[in-house]
Amino acid sequence: MVLELHVWGPAFELPSLDAQCLAAILYVRSCFQNRDWVLVPSSNPRVSPLGELPALLDGDVWVAGYLNIINYLRDVSGGKWDLNQGLDAQQQADKAALTAFIISRGQPLLDLSLYVSSDNYHNCTRPALATMLAWPNSWTMPHRLREQAKKRSEHLGLSSLDVDTAQEEEAKKENLGLTAHIPKSLRKPKQTVSGLLGRNQQKNRFRLDAVTDDFFDPLSEMLGEKTSLLGGPTSSADCLAIGYLALMQKPQLQHGWLSESLRTKHKRLDEWARRQAAEPFGTSTSKLQTLPWEACAPRSGPQICHEVLEGCIGSLPVVGSYLSVSEISYLHATDRGRYREKHFQVARLQRGQDVYIDILTATLASAGLISWLIYEGMLRFPRWSRPTPSQRRFGEAGALLGLS
């Protein structure tokens, strides 16, 4: 059975725009021959019920996320497809700590560089996403990915790299401060985008240097003069580090402070990452063809319509969060059965979400149609009037007494 690895599509002369997808490609490539697996640039988290990329399809079982994929391959093969099998107890502990460190510190740095920085996002990341995403995801997904990146990196205190938000904050300050009482014709001209970005970069440069050193220094110290981070053969932590470092090195960004810091201050780490990524990822787009690419299946009309509806409804503040897939219950099965049970539970939750989306869509469409028909006068409700009470006649005596 051929495994399918679904990832975010290629960009920046790399097989994927996502660091964990790159790590999954490295790991699977190290475990299998090209004839045993295929690489699918689906660029759509909804390709599986788990709603996450990278995602591995083995027969009828989906597994999503880099850590889950390597655990699945280890469990179903009895250690045959486990790059960490030769590590001793100390190295296993170091591997777990190093993996958590790379994800927790490396991902916010990539978020700042590729998504939060306005110039880098609009001039580099956004066009790359536009080439890999199909409609309607090309309209909604970039904004969603950028908002997620801002939330993941907001604890670093460098949100001012986002010039769009910074300009809005400056405008609010002007309107709320003393400037609001000055006629617009007499106000100083607003700062240009480049000027604002330059001021923010100068203000944030020390902070940027600190957070990048916090990530690169421990990796450089751990690598030392070894050929791998833990010593010995390549491990899953090496694949993860190479995935993150390659995505920090390759993109030609307008503000490449991340690659510059790696190249100038951590030369040994930079050279190691480039050497490790050169053979599997290549140095040009043509060399990427050595990977077992397979085109993603074409989408049907109903699937496209459902994605449009899901994107519209999912953006609603309350309804969108209510319709998201919730946590699954505790799984009792082991090995492959555990992953199969998780897949089926999430699939059932996803089907329930789809039913709610269809019901809500039908309700809103019906309400809109009825409102339009009433507005155009093509549908009228019957008017119910109160019956006039019958008047009693009392003759001349009633007229005399005022009863008729």
What is the DSSP secondary-structure string of 39-54?
A: EE----GGGSTT--SS
Residues 271 and 226 grouped into a single domain: yes
Q: Which two tokens stand for residue 351?
A: 């089907």
Condensed to tens digits (0 to 9), the pLDDT of residues 10-58 reads 999 999 999 999 999 999 999 999 999 999 999 998 888 888 999 999 9
Residues 136 and 60 grouped into a single domain: yes
Residues 136 and 267 grouped into a single domain: yes
Q: What is the pLDDT of residue 375?
A: 74
Residues 75 and 115 grouped into a single domain: yes
Does pLDDT of 172 surpass 60?
no
Q: What are the helix (H) ranges across 154-298?
A: 163-176, 193-223, 236-249, 257-265, 267-281
Q: What's the pLDDT band for 255 if we cut at 50, 70, 90?
A: confident
Highest mean pLDDT among 49-63, 290-304, 337-351: 49-63
Min mean pLDDT across 88-97, 261-270, 289-298, 316-325 is at: 316-325
Domain encompassing residue 245: 3-290
Boundary (domain end) residue, out of 245, 262, 290? 290
Residues 19 and 101 grouped into a single domain: yes
**Cβ contacts of 123 within 8 Å, gap of 6 or more:** 254
Q: What is the pLDDT of residue 360?
A: 62
Residues 44 and 130 grouped into a single domain: yes
Q: Considering the domain boundaries, does residue 23 fall inside one?
A: yes
Q: Considering the domain boundaries, does residue 396 fall inside one?
A: no
Q: CB-hemisphere CA count at 13 Å for 219?
A: 29
Q: What is the pLDDT of residue 381?
A: 62
Mean pLDDT value across the chain: 78
User: For the residues 295-309, what does the mean pLDDT come to?
Assistant: 64
Residues 62 and 140 grouped into a single domain: yes
Residues 124 and 149 grouped into a single domain: yes
Q: What is the pLDDT of residue 362?
A: 72
For the chain, give the percent of residues with pLDDT over 90.
45
This prediction's pTM:
0.75
Residues 58 and 79 grouped into a single domain: yes
Q: Considering the domain boundaries, does residue 217 fall inside one?
A: yes
Give the span between the Cα atoms of 144 and 136, in whole angstroms.
13
**Cβ contacts of 331 within 8 Å, gap of 6 or more:** 338, 341, 342, 345
Strands of the sheet with 3-6, listed across from one edge: 37-40, 3-6, 55-58, 61-64
Condensed to tens digits (0 to 9), the pLDDT of residues 329-346 reads 434 444 565 565 665 566
Boundary (domain end) residue, out of 271, 290, 309? 290
Highest mean pLDDT among 84-93, 274-283, 332-341, 389-398: 84-93
95 and 237 Cβ atoms separated by less than 8 Å:
yes
Does pLDDT of 109 surpass 90?
yes
Does pLDDT of 209 surpass 90?
no
User: For the residues 162-171, what does the mean pLDDT come to?
Assistant: 51
404 and 398 Cβ atoms separated by less than 8 Å:
yes
Min mean pLDDT across 127-131, 286-290, 349-353 is at: 349-353
Q: What is the pLDDT of residue 357?
A: 58
Does pLDDT of 389 surpass 80?
no
